[in-house]
């Protein structure tokens, strides 16, 4: 299958990730990390802490301020529920994934107030300037999607960071579609909380992700929302409140983290500038190949080739349901894409595609130009068939 659904998950991992996982599963000495001082427990702990250190450096965080979770959804649930309480107000955006929206809606039932900024007029960009009108005396945090999983548009993060700095708010960033696509440094970018997933552009296996906290979080009280085995202070009734244990109850996903570590080393060794350039080239090749096809509508602004984007092209053919096109791509052309709502209901409402959905093509560094050209040829045939 020609896999062009990398925004859902990257199925094809770099060889170094495959090899690291194969080596790890053959080892008989990976015990339970932090649960004992014998060789097997220590070997596992070494692997987890090495992964933590590499990921922390990759995002510009301190090792002690990066906690591993199962995915971005878990990271977002943990931080939002740990941080926010009744009476707080949060500003977010219409581009959010349900992994932000649903925890926020849950919190709203407990008394947290929510406001959502829409898109700028005639644009695919979040109206960050509108945050100013949404600000209230009880606003505590801004929660934003770094890159839309529907359009690939990247939010004006520096404007979000400036707004938060000026108004003493916390900036929480959902980096599910940006981590591993372009460089992120939480300190330089003014991010207080970065939530990432391991299985997409970081090329790790499923069941990996994390939360990285910036230096301003040092004084922010966070309550434990999961508790259980921690390997430390076992006689205390309350789960340890300090990072990273605060968000790491239970046994770590050692094998998964070994794979994630290899994925991030692959990105680090290639260099993010080269990775981003490759992804941009593939995305633009696809865009240029389909943009003038009869009946084709693209959701996203590709007018400036220098504009940073996630490697996503969302499109529709006339008023054909996205699911019909995506199914034909899979059955007749052996091409994987993702139709439908992409768990981003407010974004589809903003784009007017709640009923039709959008066909999403998304690329990874494992794709070749031949993959892209197959996608273009398939869309050209479908355009001739339907329009
Ligand atoms: C923007 C965005 N946020 C969050 C998520 C959730 O990621 P995960 O499924 O790894 O929890 C996704 C996944 O598609 C996403 O695209």
Ligand 1, from 8, 94, 145, 176: best to mutate by most atoms within 8 Å of Cβ?
Answer: 176
**Strand ranges in the chain using DSSP code E only, listed in sequence order:** 2-3, 66-69, 89-93, 113-117, 139-145, 170-174, 193-197, 209-213, 296-299, 312-317, 335-336, 359-362
Residues 324, 258, single domain; the answer is no
What is the structure's pLDDT at 265? 98
Residue 213 and residue 295 in one domain: no
Identify the domain containing residue 35 by its residue range: 15-269
Of 223, 242, 269, which residue is a domain's last?
269
Residue nearest to atom 14 of ligand 1 (CA): 8
Residue 268, pLDDT score: 98
**Tally of structural domains, the chain:** 2
The pLDDT assigned to 84 comes to: 98
375/265 same-domain check: no
Structure token digits, residue 254: 């050692």
Tell me: do 200 and 332 sit in the same domain.
no
pLDDT in tens, 210-244: 999 999 999 999 999 999 999 999 999 999 999 99
The whole-number pLDDT of residue 353 equals: 98
Q: Answer yes or no: do 49 and 131 share one domain.
A: yes
Q: Which pLDDT score is estimated for 68?
A: 98
Do 286 and 204 lie in a common domain? no
Q: Report the pLDDT averaged over residues 328-340.
A: 98
Q: What is the mean pLDDT of residues 178-185?
A: 98
Euclidean distance between CA atoms 387 and 380, whole angstroms:
10
Q: What is the pLDDT of residue 66?
A: 98
For the chain, percent of residues with pLDDT exceeding 70: 100
Given this model, what pLDDT does residue 199 score?
A: 98
- Here the CATH number for the domain that contains residue 173 is 3.40.640.10
Distance 92 CA to ligand 1 centre (A): 16
User: Are 198 and 292 in a shared domain?
Assistant: no
Predicted confidence at residue 282, as pLDDT, reads 98
Last residue in a domain, options 219, 234, 269: 269
My answer on whether 24 and 155 are in the same domain is yes
For 5-43, the pLDDT digits (tens) are 999 999 999 999 999 999 999 999 999 999 999 999 999
Whether residue 279 sits in one domain with residue 230: no
The helix (run of H) or strand (run of E) holding residue 336 is: strand 335-336
pLDDT single digits (tens) 145-171: 999 999 999 999 999 999 999 999 999
pLDDT digit string (tens) for 64-83?
999 999 999 999 999 999 99
The band of 127, judged by pLDDT with boundaries at 50, 70 and 90, is very high
* DSSP string for 322-334: HHHHHHHHHHHH-
272 alpha carbon – ligand 1 mean position (Å): 21
- 212 and 85 co-located in one domain: yes
Confidence of residue 143 (pLDDT cuts 50, 70, 90): very high
Check if the beta carbon of residue 186 is closer than 8 Å to that of residue 60. yes
Q: How far does residue 76's CA lie from ligand 1's centre (Å)?
A: 10
Q: Please report which confidence band the pLDDT of residue 128 belongs to, taking 50, 70 and 90 as the band edges.
A: very high
Ligand 1 contacts (CB < 6 A) are 71-73, 97, 99, 145, 149, 174, 176-177, 197, 209
Domain boundary among 269, 292, 326: 269
CB-based contact 174:142 (threshold 8 Å): no
d(CA 74, CA 318): 37
Mean pLDDT of the chain: 97
Query: Could you tell me what percent of the chain has a pLDDT over 90?
Result: 100
Overall average pLDDT of the 272-301 stretch: 98
């Amino acid at each position: 299958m020609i896999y062009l659904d990398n925004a859902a998950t990257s199925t094809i991992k770099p060889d170094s990730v495959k090899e690291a996982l194969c080596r790890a599963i053959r080892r008989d000495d990976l015990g339970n990390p932090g649960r004992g001082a014998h060789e097997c427990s220590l070997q596992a702990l070494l692997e987890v802490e090495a992964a933590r250190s590499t990921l922390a450096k990759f995002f510009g965080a301190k090792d002690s301020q990066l906690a591993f979770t199962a995915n971005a959804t878990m990271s977002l649930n943990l931080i939002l529920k740990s941080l926010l309480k009744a009476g707080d107000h949060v500003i977010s955006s219409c581009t959010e994934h349900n992994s932000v929206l649903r925890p926020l809606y849950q919190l709203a039932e407990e008394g947290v107030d929510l406001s959502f900024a829409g898109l700028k007029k005639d644009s695919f960009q979040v109206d960050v300037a509108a945050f100013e009108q949404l600000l209230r005396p009880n606003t505590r945090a801004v929660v934003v999607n770094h890159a839309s999983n529907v359009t690939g548009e990247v939010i004006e993060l520096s404007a979000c960071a400036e707004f938060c700095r000026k108004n003493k708010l916390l900036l929480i960033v959902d980096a599910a579609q940006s981590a591993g696509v372009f460089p992120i440094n939480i300190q330089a970018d003014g991010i207080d909380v970065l939530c990432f997933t391991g299985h997409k552009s970081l090329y790790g296996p499923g069941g990996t992700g994390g939360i990285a906290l910036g230096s301003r979080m040092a004084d922010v009280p966070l309550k434990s929302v999961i508790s259980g085995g921690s390997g430390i202070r076992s006689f205390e009734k309350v789960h340890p409140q300090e990072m990273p244990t605060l968000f790491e109850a239970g046994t770590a996903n050692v094998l998964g983290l070994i794979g994630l570590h290899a994925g991030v080393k692959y990105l680090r060794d290639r260099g993010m500038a080269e990775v981003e350039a490759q992804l941009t080239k593939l995305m633009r090749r696809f865009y240029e190949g389909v943009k003038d096809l009869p009946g084709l509508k693209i959701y996203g602004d590709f007018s400036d080739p220098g504009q940073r984007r996630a490697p996503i092209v969302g499109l529709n053919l006339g008023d054909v349901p996205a699911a019909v096109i995506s199914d034909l791509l899979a059955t007749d052309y052996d091409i994987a894409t993702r139709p439908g709502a992409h768990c981003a209901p407010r974004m589809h409402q903003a784009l007017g595609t709640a009923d039709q959905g959008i066909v999403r093509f998304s690329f990874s560094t494992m794709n070749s130009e031949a993959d892209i050209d197959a996608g273009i040829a398939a869309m050209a045939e479908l355009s001739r068939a339907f329009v």
